Amino acid sequence: GAGVSQSPSNKVTEKGKDVELRCDPISGHTALYWYRQSLGQGLEFLIYFQGNSAPDKSGLPSDRFSAERTGGSVSTLTIQRTQQEDSAVYLCASSLVGENSYEQYFGPGTRLTVT
């Protein structure tokens, strides 16, 4: 089966523009996560969706960042009025959810460059 896919793979935008990043999780995975990885840094949690529950937005760095997940599958991360410090690789992951702990599977990421 297909893994997690993300689009676009690369995005260059001008400061102040809005961008949308897309994530298609593994079919059947009810949990979806967005992370950000700045150059040479570890992964920083942004937001987490599980089923129909309200998302955990505790990692979003500012109100310019938002995300939605339609139909419990595809997710879109939107960054409004982009700033240069938003430049990073944005990684999406998905996992099963249940009594056991499940590993997260990552997509290839979107490299965002704000000029």
Partner 1 sequence: EDKVVQSPLSLVVHEGDTVTLNCSYEVTNFRSLLWYKQEKKAPTFLFMLTSSGIEKKSGRLSSILDKKELFSILNITATQTGDSAVYLCAVGPYNAGNMLTFGGGTRLMVKP
**Which one, 87 or 109, has the nearer CB to partner 1?**
109
Q: Is 7 in the site for partner 1 (CB under 8 A)?
A: no
Size of the site for partner 1 (CB under 8 A): 32
**Which one, 14 or 101, has the nearer CB to partner 1?**
101
Least Cα distance to 104 among 96, 91, 113, 95 occurs for: 95
Integer Cα distance of 51 and 61 in angstroms? 23
Query: In this chain, which stretch among 16-24, 31-39, 66-74, 75-83 interacts with partner 1, using CB under 8 A?
Result: 31-39
Q: Is 91 in the site for partner 1 (CB under 8 A)?
A: yes
Q: How far is CA 70 from CA 17, 79, 84, 115, in A?
A: 23, 17, 29, 30
Residue 12, both tokens = 């260059």
The answer to whether the CB of 17 falls within 8 A of the CB of 82 is yes
Q: State the residues that interact with partner 1 by CB under 8 A.
A: 4, 30-31, 33, 35, 41-45, 48, 50, 56, 59, 89, 91, 95-109, 111
